[in-house]
C-alpha cells in the first residue's frame, strides 16, 4: 500500500508543484523508479526498474542488499528524494587508459508523443554521489551541466563519445550540487513534434579534464505540457468613481507592474493602460499581459434606465421609467456603432451576433444622454 501511494504521488508531482503552469499529466512512466521487475543485485541493473534502461547505469532500491540498497549503497549514502529508490550513473569520467571522455545516460520512452509547438516543462532531482572523485589532491570536481535530450527515436547506447542526436537538448547548470542534498533541475522547451524518447546525461564538450569521475543519483523525473500564460481580463470601461482590482495568481512567480510595484494585485482608479510581468525563476521565463481601462460619466438623472442581459437567450432587455423616446446606440470599445434603434419604456434586443466583450449603451433623448455598460459573456 505504501509503495502504491508513492507511485500515485509521483505521477501527480509535476502538476502539484506548479499547478498554475502545468496543463498536462506527467509523461514519464515510473518517474521515481519505485516500480521494478527485480530488486537490483549488482552493477548496471537499471533495466530492473520498469520502463528505464541505460548501458552500465545503476538502480538502487531499499529492497536490495547493502551493495544496491537505499540509503546505503556502493556509490555512497543518500535517502531517496521520495519513496525508496533512485537511479545512478557516471555522467563523466576521464582516467586514461581505461576511460576517455566516458559518459553514461539513462533513458525511457514517454507515455505519449510530444506535440509540435507545445511548451513542455521538465523537472528532476539530482544529488552528487560520494564515489565522485578526482585524482588531484584537494581539487574540486566541477561539471558544468546535466541535460535532457528529446528524440523521435531511441538513442543508441554509447559510453565512449559525447551523446548527441537529432533532437532537443535542454541543459541546466549543476555547479552547486553536493552529496548531502537533492537539487531540483527545472527547465522548459517548445517541442518540434514527434519526440517520444528522453535521455538524461551530460552533453557538454569537455577538453583536457583532470582524471576524475562524476557520479550522480537521479530521482523524480517529470515531463509535462505547461503554459505560463495568464490574463488580466478583457479591456473594460468603468463609471467615474469606480475602482477595479487586478489580480494575478501564478505559484512560484514574482510580479512587476507598470509602475514598478511587485504585489500580486493592483488597484485601478483612473483610465490608462495597465500591465504586469510574471517571472518564473525555476524556468527562467517571463510572460506579460495588458489591460486597457476607460472611464465614462454614467447616468445620474432621475430617469432610471436598467439593463437585463440574459446569456441563456442572448437577449438584452432595456427598461426605462420615462415617457421619453430614446435613441439607442450600441458602441464597441474601439468606438464603432454596431447597433442603432429607438425605444420607449422597454426594448428587447437579441445580441447573438455580438462578439463577447464590453459595449457602451448610449441612450439619447431631447432632454438627456444616458450611458450604460453592457458585457456580452
Mean pLDDT of 311-321: 86
**Per-residue pLDDT, 68:** 96
Please state whether the predicted TM-score (pTM) of the whole model is above 0.75.
no
The domains of the chain are located at 2-225, 236-295, 297-376
pLDDT at 16 over 50: no
Residue 119 grid cell: 511548451
CATH code for residues 297-376: 2.60.40.3080
Taking the C-alpha atoms of residue 343 and residue 324, their distance in angstroms, rounded to an integer, is 9
Q: Which helix (H) or strand (E) holds 189?
A: strand 183-190
Strands 326-332 and 357-364: antiparallel
Taking the C-alpha atoms of residue 112 and residue 211, their distance in angstroms, rounded to an integer, is 40
Name, in order, each residue with C-beta under 8 angstroms of 141's C-beta and a sequence gap of 6 or more.
132, 133, 134, 212, 213, 214
| Bond from prior residue into 139 cis (ω within 30 degrees of 0) | no
Q: Give the DSSP letter string of 296-331.
A: EPPP-SSS-EEEEEETTTTEEEEEESSS--EEEEEE
Picking from 118-122, 157-161, 241-245, 246-250, which range would have the lowest pLDDT averaged per residue?
157-161
Taking the C-alpha atoms of residue 106 and residue 56, their distance in angstroms, rounded to an integer, is 9
Picking from 7-21, 52-66, 269-283, 336-350, which range would have the lowest pLDDT averaged per residue?
7-21
**pLDDT digits over 73-97, tens only?**
999 999 999 999 999 999 888 775 6
Taking the C-alpha atoms of residue 10 and residue 12, their distance in angstroms, rounded to an integer, is 5
In angstroms, what CA-CA distances link 357 with 98, 211, 240? 69, 66, 20
**pLDDT digits over 267-293, tens only?**
999 999 999 999 998 888 999 999 998
**pLDDT digits over 207-266, tens only?**
555 667 889 999 999 999 999 998 998 888 787 788 899 999 887 899 999 999 999 999
**pLDDT interval class at 6 (50, 70, 90):** very low
Judge contact between 373 and 358, C-beta under 8 A.
yes
pLDDT at 12 over 60: no
Angle, CA of 126, 186 and 69, to the nearest 5°: 20
Residue 3 grid cell: 509503495
If you classify domain 2-225 with CATH, what class do you get? mainly beta
E strand map for 110-158: 119-128, 133-134, 145-151
Residue 30 is given by DSSP the state: S
Residue 279 grid cell: 517571472
Taking the C-alpha atoms of residue 143 and residue 91, their distance in angstroms, rounded to an integer, is 9
Q: How far apart are the first and last CA of the chain?
A: 48
Amino acid at each position: 500500500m505504501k509503495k502504491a501511494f508513492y507511485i500515485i504521488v509521483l505521477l501527480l508531482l509535476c502538476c502539484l508543484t506548479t499547478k498554475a503552469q502545468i496543463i498536462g499529466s506527467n509523461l514519464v512512466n515510473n518517474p521515481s523508479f519505485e516500480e521494478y521487475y527485480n530488486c537490483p543485485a549488482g552493477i548496471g541493473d537499471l533495466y530492473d526498474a520498469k520502463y528505464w534502461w541505460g548501458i552500465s547505469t545503476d538502480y538502487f532500491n531499499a529492497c536490495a542488499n547493502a551493495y544496491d540498497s537505499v540509503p546505503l549503497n556502493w556509490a555512497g549514502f543518500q535517502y531517496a528524494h521520495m519513496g525508496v529508490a533512485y537511479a545512478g550513473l557516471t555522467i563523466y569520467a576521464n582516467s586514461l587508459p581505461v576511460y576517455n571522455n566516458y559518459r553514461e545516460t539513462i533513458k525511457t520512452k514517454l507515455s505519449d508523443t510530444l506535440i509540435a509547438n507545445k511548451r513542455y516543462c521538465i523537472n528532476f532531482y539530482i544529488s552528487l554521489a560520494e564515489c565522485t572523485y578526482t585524482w588531484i589532491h584537494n581539487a574540486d570536481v566541477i561539471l558544468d551541466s546535466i541535460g535532457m535530450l528529446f528524440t523521435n527515436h531511441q538513442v543508441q547506447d554509447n559510453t565512449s563519445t559525447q551523446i548527441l542526436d537529432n533532437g532537443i537538448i535542454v541543459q541546466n547548470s549543476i555547479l552547486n550540487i553536493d552529496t548531502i542534498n537533492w537539487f531540483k533541475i527545472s527547465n522548459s522547451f517548445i517541442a518540434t513534434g514527434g519526440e517520444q524518447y528522453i535521455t538524461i546525461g551530460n552533453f557538454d564538450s569537455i577538453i583536457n579534464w583532470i582524471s576524475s569521475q562524476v557520479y550522480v543519483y537521479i530521482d523524480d523525473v517529470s515531463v509535462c505540457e505547461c503554459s505560463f500564460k495568464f490574463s488580466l481580463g478583457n479591456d473594460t470601461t468603468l463609471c467615474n468613481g469606480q475602482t477595479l482590482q487586478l489580480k494575478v495568481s501564478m505559484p512560484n512567480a514574482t510580479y512587476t507592474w507598470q509602475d514598478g510595484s511587485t504585489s500580486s494585485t493592483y488597484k485601478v482608479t483612473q483610465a490608462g493602460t495597465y500591465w504586469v510581468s510574471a517571472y518564473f525563476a525555476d524556468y527562467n521565463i517571463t510572460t506579460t499581459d495588458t489591460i486597457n481601462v476607460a472611464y465614462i460619466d454614467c447616468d445620474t438623472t432621475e430617469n432610471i434606465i436598467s439593463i437585463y442581459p440574459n446569456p441563456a437567450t442572448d437577449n438584452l432587455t432595456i427598461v426605462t421609467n420615462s415617457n421619453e423616446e430614446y435613441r439607442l446606440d450600441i458602441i464597441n470599445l474601439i468606438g464603432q456603432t454596431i447597433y442603432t434603434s429607438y425605444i420607449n419604456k422597454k426594448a428587447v434586443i437579441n445580441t447573438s451576433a455580438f462578439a463577447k466583450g464590453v459595449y457602451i449603451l448610449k441612450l439619447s433623448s431631447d432632454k438627456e444622454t444616458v450611458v450604460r455598460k453592457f458585457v456580452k459573456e
